[in-house]
Structure 1
Amino acid sequence: MKQILVIGIGAGDPDYVTIQAVKALNRVDVFFVLDKGEVKQDLVDVRQEILDRHVDRAYRVVEARDPERDRSTPAYAEAVHDWRRRRADVCEELIRAELADGQTGAFLVWGDPALYDSTLAIVEDILARGGVEFDYEVIPGITSVQALVAKHRTSLNRVGRPVQVTTGRRLAEGFPDGVDDVVVMLDAHNSFTGVADQDVDIYWGAYVGTPDELLVSGPVHEVAERIVATRAEARERKGWIMDTYLLRRRR
């Protein structure tokens, strides 16, 4: 039977790759890479650096074009569902055509496969279709959230208090009730500016763990404009942005 490994490779620094992940990498015959185009070539380059540094056996790398997601439609959930379906089509064909019975293939996932990543859902979708048979295993990785709080030398939670992980889209609806510590991911619209009138600190980071790493922290009302400007400049320079932040309400 074919075997698929979904390997978390950390948040950007090749040193974030765990010993378990290194062992898994050295079981792989074929690595599958979804190419996001020249704009995000940096991501592919980091994956290749990880392979060069940690893999000491023969392997193949097979690339396929990552389908584009419609970011203009207000029907967000439907757009994501359609994008995942088309991604599953691509991945299913890769597994069918490029991996022989008895071989091991792998998808390398930025951060950890369990946190804001579609790979596990796509793998389950492919299995449910019944068109190709395989077993799979998940290798955890260091998330951007862990890397962020480590870089800022702070903790993710405070004693006896919950932490919520949400999106910029949800934060735009208001600071979550009953929570003082909120991690925000996938914020395309600087939703943190909406809490600038509250007593909230922000720990923000972009490209965490990479040579392009950017970090800003402080009261939101003092640093919001700086983050907005820094974020815009970085996006203009690189063509893409990958950032996250922790909001902490003072008590």
Structure 2
Amino acid sequence: MSTEQRAILVVGIGAGDPEQLTLQAVRALGRTDVFFIVGKGRDKASLTDLRHRMIEEHARGPYRVVEVADPSRDRRPMNRSEYTAAVEDWRGRRADAFERLMTEELAPGGTGAFLVWGDPSLYDSTLGILAAIEERGAVPFTVEVVPGISSVSTLAARHRIPLNRVGRPVHITPARRMADVAAQDGDGDIVVMLDAHESFTRVGGEDVWIYWGAYLGTPDELLVAGPLHEVADRIRRVRAEARARHGWIMDTYLLRGAEPPTGADGAAGADGAAGAAGPVTA
């Protein structure tokens, strides 16, 4: 086998709006020979369909699309060590699948691309998996990362708020670590991702605002904002209805100590998302 290196592009494609593709991402799609798409099953077919539409619109010259099923992952409630072990097992099986794709489907000297939801640097496993494959040394390749617009950026834009407040930090955390972050530093605001268990319902006090969004950047986008104690039940109801309708949900939210919203910074207001351009909650 030739030792000529393959080129792997890890392309951030934004939070769901095809127009969130950057010019750099469009150019990357235009020079790709093989696109690798990780399928999430029938319930999340819309995520795969969007990738196909982006490829059809922006790929140039001859190219192929190769799909692989995402290995299953244990998602039961578990402690931290069990969770870490489950994730490492899943990543290992993903690495096996990715390495096989790169070896069998991409010729030496060719360019392959993984299209990553949002931004590759934020709670996505692709870069870590590629690093693990590189350590194995079985297939030589280079990696180029194209940043994308994250759901965090989209959330702030759709609610028309700055992500940070003057001189104060912002903490980005998966929901399972939210309590730890809050206990360590009560001064900053918290952006929560990957919340499968509605952890916001366990946040107490009447001085916390929530800026919540789901399916951000898509025609199904949902937004709710307001004092958490007033809108938590509405978010739970909207979330349950949306999950039942689509079969899946991806949501992100910002928790912020109460500041009465004024002007552009508080345009979303307590009743949802006044002035937003896309579909919102009632």
TM-score interval, smaller chain: over 0.9
Check if 1:211 corresponds to 2:215: no
Paired residues, number: 251
Alpha-carbon separation, structure 1, partners of 2:128 and 2:187: 28
Q: CA deviation at 1:73?
A: 5.5
Q: Which amino acid aligns with 2:24?
A: Q
| Distance change >3 Å, CA 23–CA 6, structure 1 → 2 | same
Counterpart in the other structure of 2:192: 184
More displaced 10-residue stretch of structure 1: 191-200 or 12-21: 191-200
Are the counterparts in 2 of residues 166 and 184 from structure 1 also a CA contact under 8 Å? yes
TM value normalised by structure 1: 0.97
Alignment of 1:46-125 (within 5 A): 46-72=50-76, 74=78, 75-125=82-132
Change (3 A) 1:57 1:214: same
Aligned equivalent of 2:265? none
| Aligned positions of 1:36-51 closer than 5 A | 36-51=40-55
Q: Secondary structure at the match of 1:31?
A: strand
Stretches of structure 2 lacking an aligned partner (at least 5 in a row): 260-282
Does the 8 Å CA contact 1:183/1:245 hold for their aligned counterparts?
yes
- Checking the alignment, whether the CA contact within 8 Å between 1:172 and 1:194 is kept in structure 2 is no
**Could you say what the CA RMSD is over the residues aligned between the two structures, in angstroms?**
1.2
Matches within 5 A, 1:88-167: 88-167=95-174
* Pair 1:226 & 2:234 matched: yes
Q: Secondary structure at the match of 2:7?
A: strand
Q: Structure 2 length normalisation: TM-score?
A: 0.86
Distance 1:226 1:174 in 2: 25
Inter-partner Cα distance in structure 2 for 1:40 and 1:8: 18
Q: Give the counterpart letter for 1:103 in structure 2.
A: G
2:203 aligned partner: 195
Q: Deviations over 1:72-96 (max 9, x none)?
A: 2512111111101100000000000
**Unaligned segments of structure 1, at least 5 residues:** none
% identity of equivalent residues: 61
Structure 2: how far apart are the matches of 1:142 and 1:183?
16
Alignment correspondent of 2:264: none
The C-alpha deviation readout for 1:147-171, integer Å capped at 9, x for no partner, is 0110000010011111000111112
Contact 1:163 1:179 survives alignment (8 Å): no
Q: Which amino acid counterpart does residue 209 of structure 2 have in structure 1?
A: D
Please identify the structure whose Cα radius of gyration is greater.
2
The answer (yes or no) to whether the contact 2:227–2:258 under 8 Å persists in 1 is: no
Equivalent residue number for residue 169 of structure 1: 176
1:193 Cα deviation after fit: 1.2
In 2, Cα distance between the equivalents of 1:165 and 1:54?
A: 32
**Cα deviation, residue 55, structure 1:** 2.1
Q: Which runs of 4+ in 1 moved over 3 A?
A: none
Q: Shift of residue 237 of structure 1?
A: 1.1
Question: Is the CA contact (8 Å cut-off) linking 2:171 and 2:181 kept in structure 1?
Answer: no
State the one-letter code of the partner of 2:227: P
Aligned residue number for residue 18 of structure 1: 22
Alpha-carbon distance in structure 2 between the residues aligned to 1:4 and 1:193: 41
